[in-house]
Structure 1
Amino acid sequence: MTTFLTDADVRSAFTWADAIAALRTAHAAPPDESRFPPRGMARGEGLWLRTLSGVPADGAPMGAKLIAASLRHRRASYLIPLFDQETTELLALLDGHSITGFRTAATSALAADLLAQEGPLRVGVIGSGFEARMHVRALAAIRPLVSVTVFSPNPASRTRFTGQLSDLDVRLETADSAPAAVEGADVVLCAARSRDERPTLRQAPPGATVISVGSTLPEQRELGVEVIERASSIVADVPDEVAHDTGDLLAAKEAGVDFAGKLVALADVVAGRAPGRPAHDPDAVVVYKSVGSAAQDLAVAAMCVRRAAELSLGTELPVTLSPVAK
């Protein structure tokens, strides 16, 4: 039978520790475009349908994430089907809404643990929405946090953000500007869309690790050209897409910034095939740039399905797909 997990089921089954462990395993394998091809994007007038698909090398369930979005109505739906690699049986269907936020934040936490300087972290946050909150929780799962300072244009949103994280054992503060929020930060988190697509971060503090998750399309901007030029390395979950499909890197290229020699795959850093932060430069700025990948979605989705079975969560559907001979 096929198990269906609602968004509530996913939230109940999810844990940061299990997700980060699953993502560490998933990213340890060398990048393989035959197993995880570039994402597909179908566009209509005010609409797009994005597909991320993959076949994990370790035999874990293969599958895809489908995202249907209406720009006019500012709404999106997420669906993740998982298939058994041996039988092609449809094992599970998941509402992928929270998976997206969870896997993005958990992957960023994995990257931050590898790239940030050792010790407790001071975090500066630009953005106060779901992604920003999930990232702070993910970071708190891998390192002690000294402080979290948030900026967003709406003061009420900043106050709501600190209230929603009040259960964490960390000093929560608000700032009236993005530069004030990130001043002295060890980790700078950029998780807010700029309304007019101008960069939200122009300068990074010396020694900071910058996490950029809010600009994944050519028309989106988040990091100023100055940040890309200043970075000693740019670690990317999907290097080719980050280099050619994100507004931040496209703008840097147009401005004449040569970043090709400092673009590194997160998988290579996780597996120890490439360094992340320079060992002898405490002022080095390192950027982690994320567009998201099927490897992340499938690793976290499969983890949630396993945990849901242990916790007796989810609904067994009365019908399922029957594999056919080919």
Structure 2
Amino acid sequence: MDTLLIGHAEIERVLTTVGRDALMDRIIERLTKGLTELGQRARELSPARSGFEREHPTRGVLEWMPHYDSGQGITIKTVAYSPENPRLFGLPTILSTLARYDGDTGRLLVLADGNVLTALRTGATSAVASSLLARPESTVVGLIGAGAQAVTQLHALTRTFPVERVLVWDVRKENAAGLAARTAFLGVPITVAPPDVILARADIISTATSTGVGEPPVLPYGDHQEHLHINAIGSDLVGKTELPRRLLREAFICPDHPEQALREGECQQLAGDDAAGGAIGPSLGELCAFTSQAVAHRDRLTVFDSTGFALEDHLALDVLLEIADELGVGSRAELETRPHDAFDPYSISRE
């Protein structure tokens, strides 16, 4: 009846024992399977996330993301987005915790740190979308934003494509310059380049920035490869977007969670007449289930509008729990009170 706890020590053990590549591969594989089932309507779509904005002492949001499949348990992630964390507190921009509940009783089964897992599943989801919409022979990756997400975006893409060159840009020059050291394990050369050069030369681009609400696009409109695929990762608030509307209007757009993307993703720029007119294409789950719909667009501009939703976290947590069981890691704690009499809350004490 105890709750399984998976924290820093356990996740470090998983990473060092299983290895980054094998862990990423397992999550990519599980997401592909789970999203395909979603597109086939064999799984439920997670509700759109909810939360509140924080203004003081630092700006940011705290959100909760629930997922429930009958017979598969309930996963709820709480996630905080705080762009000032690295500068002010030496903490990641995104902090999260995952909880797994029994679907019949509501009992808390697992409590796990979600920081590494969130970065992994976000990169893995981009790899899934890119494998559908980008040319398989893509060799040049562009990264706009060189924070923590850039590491797992690039890692996942190198597991899926024959990446030979990486172009990176960040408004903080030290972040862009430091990405090569953080991704040295991939053995891929990285060059700092301005956004217009990245747009013109890349086969695949991932944008993962902390741009503010109402700020200009982080990627310009201009010349690009006809087959360019973009993973737009950073839009997660109403009014916060990364791509020029003109670029979106020319693209085939695949949202991960259509309702959520229209509210706070890149798709919010195409709400109303544009959305009704079909500018926004099938969801990622639908493309996974019916891949021919994706393959038909590989020679044109495509955009994956990634806002992140709880099924992805549910599936990634499944992978973590399987590996934790294989390795025998994780501590247990009696977190929930269990009264001797289910009708008497005071009966936890025999006094």
Alignment match, 2:327: 311
Whether contact under 8 Å (2:46, 2:67) holds in the other structure is yes
In 1, the alpha carbon distance for the partners of 2:94 and 2:149 equals 15
Alignment match, 1:239: 258
In 1, the alpha carbon distance for the partners of 2:99 and 2:284 equals 25
SS in 1 for 2:253: strand
Amino acid at match of 2:326: E
More helix by share: 2
SS in 1 for 2:164: strand
CA-to-aligned-CA distance 1:213-262 (integer Å, 9 cap, x gap)? 0111112120101211110x11111012112323x3333448x7457513
Whether contact under 8 Å (2:235, 2:264) holds in the other structure is no
In 2, the alpha carbon distance for the partners of 1:313 and 1:225 equals 47
In 2, the alpha carbon distance for the partners of 1:138 and 1:263 equals 24
Whether contact under 8 Å (1:124, 1:183) holds in the other structure is no
Amino acid at match of 1:23: L
Alignment match, 2:73: 61
Q: Give 5+ residue unaligned stretches, structure 1.
A: none
Alignment match, 2:128: 110
2:51 is aligned with 1:41 = yes
2:170 is aligned with 1:148 = no
Deviates further, 315-324 or 186-195: 315-324
Could you tell me how far 1:314 is from its partner in structure 2? Answer: 1.9
Distance 1:200 1:259, change over 3 A: farther
2:318 is aligned with 1:302 = yes
Alignment match, 1:20: 28
2:245 is aligned with 1:225 = yes
Distance 1:84 1:269, change over 3 A: same
CA-to-aligned-CA distance 1:278-298 (integer Å, 9 cap, x gap)? 35x72x101001111010011
Alignment match, 2:152: 134
Whether contact under 8 Å (1:49, 1:66) holds in the other structure is yes
In 2, the alpha carbon distance for the partners of 1:127 and 1:161 equals 10
Amino acid at match of 1:92: V
In 2, the alpha carbon distance for the partners of 1:70 and 1:117 equals 35
Whether contact under 8 Å (1:62, 1:82) holds in the other structure is yes
Could you tell me how far 1:130 is from its partner in structure 2? Answer: 0.2
In 2, the alpha carbon distance for the partners of 1:173 and 1:322 equals 58
Whether contact under 8 Å (1:7, 1:94) holds in the other structure is no
- 1:1-326 matched pairs, under 5 angstroms: 1-13=2-14, 15-30=23-38, 36-43=46-53, 45-46=55-56, 48-56=61-69, 59-68=71-80, 77-86=95-104, 88-175=106-193, 177-195=194-212, 197-203=215-221, 204-231=224-251, 233-246=252-265, 248-253=266-271, 257-258=274-275, 260-261=277-278, 262-272=280-290, 275-278=293-296, 282=299, 284-320=300-336
TM-score by length of 1: 0.87
In 1, the alpha carbon distance for the partners of 2:321 and 2:250 equals 42
Could you tell me how far 1:304 is from its partner in structure 2? Answer: 0.5
Could you tell me how far 1:64 is from its partner in structure 2? Answer: 0.6
Q: CA RMSD in A?
A: 2.8
Whether contact under 8 Å (2:44, 2:69) holds in the other structure is no
CA-to-aligned-CA distance 1:109-142 (integer Å, 9 cap, x gap)? 1111111112242101111100011100011112
Q: Give 5+ residue unaligned stretches, structure 2.
A: 16-22, 344-351
Whether contact under 8 Å (1:147, 1:172) holds in the other structure is yes
In 2, the alpha carbon distance for the partners of 1:56 and 1:13 equals 26
Larger radius of gyration: 2
Could you tell me how far 1:263 is from its partner in structure 2? Answer: 2.4
Count of residues in correspondence between the two structures: 318
